[in-house]
Structure 1
Amino acid sequence: MIAIHNSKSGFHPAWIAYCQEQGIPFKLVNCLDDDIIGQLKDVRALLWHHSHMLPKDLIAAKPILAALSHQGFPVFPDCRTNWHFDDKLAQKYLLESLELPMVKTFAFYDPKDALSWARQTKYPTVHKLKTGSGSSQVRLVGNYHGAKKIILKSFGKGFSNYAPFNSLKERIYQFKNGHAPWMSIVKGLLRFVHYPEYATVQGRERGYVLFQEFVPNNPSDIRVIVIGNKAFAITRWVRKDDFRASGSGHFSHDPDLIPLSCLESAFKANQKLKGQCIAFDFVMDEKQTPRIIEISYGFSPEAFRHCPGHWDQHLHWQEGRFVPEHWMVEALLKDLVVTGASDPK
């Protein structure tokens, strides 16, 4: 028997439906219960799609999953898949240590070092916080003056994990493009008074500054998701008069738009990362070589429901719709057999 966190969001509904369809024994648990470790004594594995947008998940998910992994208990996501989630500093050091083809990323923990770098670097450059998704905390910095202002703030009062003005702009953008209801704008206005709880839990980002090289001439980025020996991908177009693709809401499922070099790079990268499920965001450099911007284990499954097929590890196209959450369950069950944790029963 396997355990699944009892939630109606993320991957959980598809996991539950798949187990019901396939006759896989499972039980629903609340991973935030005080006695969750005890509740797992009669099961062989746990699936939990924790989110960086849920305050309780932010506090508890990684410690609980790490504790279970420490004793060899199979979980999804496991440590290799999960420890760097929503942490761009962690991803910088991980990708560099594995010598993976990433966009150059610079991290500083002293304002003097950061200012020295800013005086001689090439502009524009991109400023990011180590947390955040959907390009919400990503800024294009055009000159030294702008970089200096960011650096001084990073080592002063710091940055909130939630920027209400940027969020309101994003909500208006999504509304105009038909991706959000008008009530979303109202909620955005209320957020100027009441910040979301996750931002309060995380506190302000300070004591470091993170910049990433700007790679020009990319009308889109490519998101490739690797699960085991399968990969699927979409093209995400950048916003009008902007450089950001993540969160734009404009994407294509056309497989002919996906460079095979991105797929090859994703498979090779995951051979080193050994992740259960890794989403790679790529841009192409001046030599049309794929460069990794960020990685994540989590993604919005709805954005990929209309993918017409996937690629195998040999880059052969496999026609046919699929549900990637099913592959996650299958991989975990396979891991139970390979590790000798016994079959679910």
Structure 2
Amino acid sequence: MKIAIHHRKGSFSDRWIEYLEEKNIPYVLLNAFDNDIIAQVKEHQVTHFMWHFNQNYYEDMLHARTLFRSISQIGIKTFPSEDAYWHFDDKVAQKYLLEALEVPLVKADVFYHKKEAEEYIEKTSFPKVFKLKGGAGSINVKLIKTKSQARKIVNQAFGSGFAAFDSWTVFTDTIERFWRQKTTHNFLRVLKWGFKGIFVDRQYKVFPKQRNYVYFQEFIPGLTYDIRLIVIGDKCYYLKRNTRDNDFRASGSGRLEFAPGKFNLEAVDIAFKTARQLKMICVAYDFIFDSEDRPLMVEISYGFQPYVYDQCQGFFDPALNWNESKVNLEYEIVHNFLNEFT
């Protein structure tokens, strides 16, 4: 066994490397973007390749799937696997996948022709939640309250399109978080992300515009939070995300709770069962609850922000029992990945 890692500081790979060194497991750091990466993989006799590729880097999204699909043809195991990465950061793909698996989810409608979208607007009720395929932290999410607003969205979707990065949302969210938590750290974040929000970081400018489709999701009124459940192997970790003030969005709010309060544990059961159906070693779910307290899945992802979940206080097991423990999700990922094939 020999593990290849594409390392980016501040990603999962920081702790993947720590784990491999602690366990004396042979590994090599490789640059996935090297022109001769296939030759390097063969030269080092790699058996596993791990890369925490990120939806905010266009080059990652352009290249990672291609490389991993190629090396899997010669028997190299990848994290994430194809089952995990083909729908990554694509809410439309996830809609079809979760519908196929008959998972309870928030209803969504997608249209690829303007006429069909316009007919839908006239027949449906509002408000609806408009989303682009990609984007984390609710940056590409808007509440559409009227048919008039929806028509404007449709005209833009089938016209000039939408920037893949909503810079104004990033800026305003950062300002809101600073005023709520006035610290030097958050002030520096305002400076950093404020400039990103106003001028748009160069890495986002290369993403193509989103056009020629429109995605509307049912709006569930009265929500004050959602929950993030992360299943890794036989453990399910919990995080509660409260919504912003006078807003329906919880993702990206920074208002987090880590102690598992009372909630419908059917969500945990669904998370475990769906992970097996998805064949994913690691899967993060966003759940909301409807007026009858039924858990509804919103979206899924193999990846998430590192280090935040160190504050989790334990995990649920498949029998839905809570177990208090220290949490290191990156260690859990690499442990389960390597032991899946042994």
Q: TM-score, normalised by structure 2?
A: 0.94
Tell me, in whole angstroms, the C-alpha distance in 1 between the residues paired with 2:203 and 2:126: 33
In the superposition, relative to structure 1, how do residues 36 and 112 fare at CA in structure 2: closer, same or farther (>3 Å)?
same
Q: CA deviation at 1:193?
A: 6.4
Contact 1:235 1:257 survives alignment (8 Å): no
User: What does 1:1-345 correspond to in 2, within 5 Å?
Assistant: 1-41=2-42, 42-178=45-181, 181-188=186-193, 190-191=195-196, 194-337=199-342
Tell me, in whole angstroms, the C-alpha distance in 2 between the residues paired with 1:66 and 1:149: 39
Tell me, in whole angstroms, the C-alpha distance in 2 between the residues paired with 1:298 and 1:285: 26
SS in 2 for 1:185: helix
Give per-residue Cα distances to partners, 1:147-204, cap 9 Å, x unaligned: 0000000000000012232222112112223385334434455446642234322211
Tell me, in whole angstroms, the C-alpha distance in 1 between the residues paired with 2:253 and 2:37: 38
Tell me, in whole angstroms, the C-alpha distance in 1 between the residues paired with 2:36 and 2:143: 46
Tell me, in whole angstroms, the C-alpha distance in 2 between the residues paired with 1:245 and 1:59: 29
| Identity, % of aligned positions | 38
Partner of 1:340: none
Tell me, in whole angstroms, the C-alpha distance in 2 between the residues paired with 1:295 and 1:260: 18
Q: Which amino acid aligns with 2:173?
A: E
Tell me, in whole angstroms, the C-alpha distance in 1 between the residues paired with 2:118 and 2:179: 39
Q: Which amino acid aligns with 1:21?
A: E
Partner of 1:341: none
Tell me, in whole angstroms, the C-alpha distance in 2 between the residues paired with 1:70 and 1:133: 31
The 10-residue stretch of structure 1 (322-331 or 130-139) with the greater mean CA deviation from structure 2: 322-331
In the superposition, relative to structure 1, how do residues 66 and 112 fare at CA in structure 2: closer, same or farther (>3 Å)?
same
Q: Which amino acid aligns with 2:124?
A: T
Larger RCO: Structure 1 or Structure 2 (Cα < 8 Å, ≥ 6 residues apart)? 1
SS in 2 for 1:182: helix
Number of residue equivalences: 337
Contact 1:87 1:130 survives alignment (8 Å): yes
In the superposition, relative to structure 1, how do residues 251 and 192 fare at CA in structure 2: closer, same or farther (>3 Å)?
closer
Tell me, in whole angstroms, the C-alpha distance in 2 between the residues paired with 1:47 and 1:76: 5
Give per-residue Cα distances to partners, 1:221-252, cap 9 Å, x unaligned: 01100111111011110111000000000111
Contact 1:155 1:207 survives alignment (8 Å): yes
Contact 1:222 1:258 survives alignment (8 Å): no
Tell me, in whole angstroms, the C-alpha distance in 2 between the residues paired with 1:78 and 1:7: 19
Tell me, in whole angstroms, the C-alpha distance in 1 between the residues paired with 2:279 and 2:115: 37
Gaps of 5+ in 2: none
SS in 1 for 2:15: helix
SS in 2 for 1:176: helix
Gaps of 5+ in 1: 338-345
Partner of 1:342: none
Q: CA deviation at 1:145?
A: 0.4
Contact 1:233 1:255 survives alignment (8 Å): yes
Contact 2:110 2:214 survives alignment (8 Å): yes
Q: Which amino acid aligns with 2:215?
A: L
Q: CA deviation at 1:70?
A: 3.5
Q: CA deviation at 1:55?
A: 2.6
Q: TM-score, normalised by structure 1?
A: 0.93
SS in 1 for 2:341: helix
SS in 2 for 1:279: strand
Tell me, in whole angstroms, the C-alpha distance in 2 between the residues paired with 1:302 and 1:192: 24
RMSD: 1.6
SS in 1 for 2:62: helix
